[in-house]
Amino acid sequence: MILRAVLGLAMLVVATVAAPGLRAQAPEAPIQHLLQEHGEIIAKSSRRTIGPAIEALATSGLPEAQVVLERWQAKEMWFHEETGLFVFAEEVDRSTIKIFDIADGSEIGDVPDDDYKQLKPNSGIRGLIGGALVQFQLSDPNPRNRMRALNAIERRPEAGHLAALRGAMEGEDNPAIAARKARLERLLTMEFDESEEARIAAIEGFAGDLGVDVRAVLNRMVATRRGAAAEAPEGADIARLLTPGSEDLSLADAYGLLVSAELAAPRISRDAKRAALVANIENGSVAGIEVATLGSEGARDLAYAALAEAGVVEPVATEAQVAEALEAHVFFERYVAAPPGVAQAAQVALGAIELRLGLNEAADLALDALSLASIYFLAAIGLAITFGVMRVINMAHGEFIMMGAYTGYVVQLFVSDYTLSILIALPLAFLVTFGAGVAMERLVIRWLYHRPLETLLATFGISIALQQLAKNIFGTQARPLTAPGWLDGSLVFNDVVSISYIRIAIFVLALLFLALFLFVMNRTRLGLEVRAVTQNPRMAASMGINPDRINMLTFGFGSGIAGIAGVAIGLYAKVTSEMGQDYIVQSFMTVVVGGVGNIWGTLLGASLVGLLQKGIEWMNPSNTLAAQTYMILFIILFIQFRPRGIIALKGRAAEA
């Protein structure tokens, strides 16, 4: 205290002597006093050394500290080069600045900037200042600033924030912010509180919490460092022992630990060995061994050993020594981020959270799979009619999906309201593809009934022609089909489980189509006639049904549904001329796996294919291509065991 007073006095003397022309700047003001104490490191402005200065300002309890920090951060603080006194300043013109008193902000006057130097904190220092400012912002009257401060703490929590946060919790009137403050306080307590009991209590308070923030903190707390020792170490901070050569610790890493703990001699990499040999070539030989013979690792090892013997290079461990050293030591992981008791509590809590997390992830996966299944179902339901009921292989089915999607795109070109345009696009897509389907049935397919292979090829010809046609008309780049605003966003259950509204809409659409299909097939005159014609066309004809007309309408109906599916799929994926291709093989798979001729089979097939694909993706998340490969492999094998699909038609229906 005395020292400080003496120092302050000395400053005062220096200031008055050195700057006689300037109006007194109240260097005795406590804030200036404090700054002067750290004047050197502030002027030096280095991120590594600035810490104590900011700390002192933040914890000073001075009312001006916040303003000083803010203006320092905004590069508005200058100092006099001789006296070192700090002022706020604004540039008036290129060589003049207007300076203000640092304590009360009162204007001092315009001065030439030759004597003053601006403090230019770099981004690292500005970050530190920002951290220190947080405590002031936590009690800021503007709720937005308080929220921002909370975000800042969450991004980079520090021990110092804990006290500030606790201080700012009282008197918080906004319930949402109060809740966030309380949660953040528990998180900080968990990580930084001085009392272990308090930390453990905080950890236990979060049992089963799925928040990403909790997991992040806990993961930081259970951080471990690997070590090696000759004896098994005692102590509670040992997280676990490791076996070299296991999945967690490779032999090379284990030996690396020994080397870095100076428990064993280093090994030498192939490159370093080669470099050492090259450096010691004399007259075409290394340690008496001809260079030309050094074309194998064994020969190089010998040469290196000879060099080591001659004392030219450091000796290195041989394989046998390495194995011996690994054998002789134990390897362990040690908690480093928290005291052992706390770390263990964190580990237990993390284990419990991960179990719940696993369950929730499974639920999320199931939702994903369900939505994928409904997409496949939508894509396949048209096929369930044309292929399942009529037994016509339509390889252009995917192109009908594409036509539906492009119909939606074209409608959106003319109708800018997205809700309205989708409402127009759905029936229009049905009409367009219904027409295309009827035309195709009349022109091509009806000549090829009972010749499925030819149908397959002819429809394929149509498929490639349609695809190229779409490319010629719409170009090769993807076209957007925008969903209405109320389908944006997703339904969030918690941090893990969520599903986007578009996927829900597609799911609902799939259910609607299932109902429509069942209604048309089982409850209408058309459905009755369709079933009659597929079972026995001649008998149906003699009952007064026109099989040609029924076939035409059925095919049109199936194609029309493909068009509507196209609009739905276009909302979820991009519209390209090749989008149909992405679904055609999967759609056929869906129908075949489910069992031809049965809509429930198609539903089951879609669920199976969707579940399977998501399941495989979950096991190998980095690789959706591999997931599709394995799924196709699975389906090929599945068909071995149930060639007629999950629900196989029996009796006469199977022969139709």
Partner 1 sequence: MSDLAIGAAPRRPFVARHPSVLIFLALLALFTLGVTILAEGFGIGVISTSFVKTLGKTLCLCLVALAMDLVWGYTGILSLGHMAFFGLGGYAIGMWLMYARTELIVIESLSAAPLPPTPDEIRDGIANQIFGVVGASELPPIWAVAHSLPLQLAAVVLVPGLLALVFGWLAFRSRVTGVYLSILTQAMTLGLALWLFQNDSGLRGNNGLSGLQNLPGLGGVPQSTVSMWFFWGSALALGLGYVLCAWVVSGKFGSVIRAIRDDEARVRFLGYPVEAFKLFIFTLSAVIAGIAGALYYPQAGIINPAEVAPIASIYLAVWVAIGGRGRLYGAVIGAALVSLLSTWFTGGQAPDLDLGFYRIQWVDWWTVLLGLSFVAVTLFAPKGIGGLIDLITERRPPDRHGADLGPEPGALREQEADAK
- By CB under 8 A, name the binding residues for partner 1: 270, 274, 277-278, 281, 291-297, 300, 393, 444, 447-448, 450-454, 456-458, 460-469, 471-472, 581, 585, 588-589, 592, 623, 625-626, 628-629, 632-633, 635-637, 639-641, 643
Taken as a whole, the chain contains a residue count of: 656
Shortest spacing between CB 270 and partner 1, in angstroms: 7
- Residue closer to partner 1 (CB basis): 468 or 498: 468
Shortest spacing between CB 209 and partner 1, in angstroms: 36
- Residue closer to partner 1 (CB basis): 450 or 652: 450
Helix (H, G, I), strand (E, B) or coil at 239: strand
**DSSP code per residue over 589-612:** HHHHHH-TT-HHHHHHHHHHHHHH
- What's phi and psi for 78, nearest 5 deg? -125, 165
- Residue closer to partner 1 (CB basis): 2 or 625: 625
Which amino acid belongs to residue 518?
L
- Residue closer to partner 1 (CB basis): 208 or 452: 452
- Residue closer to partner 1 (CB basis): 562 or 589: 589
Residue with tokens 């037994």: 391
Report residue 254 as tokens. Answer: 């284990």
Buried b / exposed e over 406-426, threshold 16 CB at 10 Å, is bbbbbbbeeeeebeebbebbb
- Residue closer to partner 1 (CB basis): 262 or 655: 655
Cβ-contact 379, 586 below 8 angstroms = yes
Residue with tokens 């920090």: 69
Shortest spacing between CB 552 and partner 1, in angstroms: 17
- Residue closer to partner 1 (CB basis): 223 or 444: 444
Of the candidates 390, 396, 381, the residue with the CA atom closest to the CA atom of residue 553 = 390
Quick one: which H or E segment has residue 159? helix 159-169
CA–CA–CA angle 450, 454, 458 (5° rounding): 125
Q: How deeply is 373 buried, as exposed, middle or buried, from its count of CB atoms within 10 A (0-12, 13-18, 19+)?
A: buried
Shortest spacing between CB 572 and partner 1, in angstroms: 21
Shortest spacing between CB 304 and partner 1, in angstroms: 12
- Residue closer to partner 1 (CB basis): 520 or 632: 632
Q: How deeply is 651 buried, as exposed, middle or buried, from its count of CB atoms within 10 A (0-12, 13-18, 19+)?
A: exposed
- Residue closer to partner 1 (CB basis): 200 or 440: 440
- Residue closer to partner 1 (CB basis): 201 or 448: 448
**Diameter over CA atoms, the chain:** 122
Shortest spacing between CB 446 and partner 1, in angstroms: 11
Shortest spacing between CB 451 and partner 1, in angstroms: 6
H helix and E strand count, the chain: 27, 12
- Residue closer to partner 1 (CB basis): 549 or 642: 642
- Residue closer to partner 1 (CB basis): 265 or 632: 632
- Provide the phi-psi class of 35: left if phi over 0, else alpha when psi is between -120 and 50, else beta: alpha
Shortest spacing between CB 579 and partner 1, in angstroms: 15
Shortest spacing between CB 375 and partner 1, in angstroms: 18
Give the contacts of 230 (CB within 8 A, at least 6 positions apart): 263, 328, 329, 330
Shortest spacing between CB 575 and partner 1, in angstroms: 19
Give the contacts of 111 (CB within 8 A, at least 6 positions apart): 22, 96, 97, 99
Shortest spacing between CB 390 and partner 1, in angstroms: 13
Q: What is the 3-state composition of the chain as percent helix, strand, coil, each rounded to the nearest 5?
A: 65, 10, 30
- Residue closer to partner 1 (CB basis): 468 or 535: 468
Report residue 313 as tokens. Answer: 């290079």
Q: Long-range pairs for 627-636 at CB < 8 Å and ≥24 separation?
A: 632/589, 635/589, 635/593, 635/609
What ranges make up the beta strands (E) of 305-450?
330-335
- Residue closer to partner 1 (CB basis): 109 or 452: 452
- Calculate the CA dihedral of residues 641, 642, 646, 651 and round it to 10 degrees: -150
Shortest spacing between CB 252 and partner 1, in angstroms: 15
Report residue 652 as tokens. Answer: 């006469």
Shortest spacing between CB 242 and partner 1, in angstroms: 25
Shortest spacing between CB 549 and partner 1, in angstroms: 21
Distance CA 75, CA 136 (A): 19
Say if strands 330-335 and 224-229 run parallel, antiparallel, or are unpaired. Answer: antiparallel
- Calculate the CA dihedral of residues 121, 124, 128, 130 and round it to 10 degrees: 80
DSSP state of 108: E
Cβ-contact 547, 529 below 8 angstroms = no
- Residue closer to partner 1 (CB basis): 46 or 472: 472
Shortest spacing between CB 248 and partner 1, in angstroms: 22
Which amino acid belongs to residue 426?
L
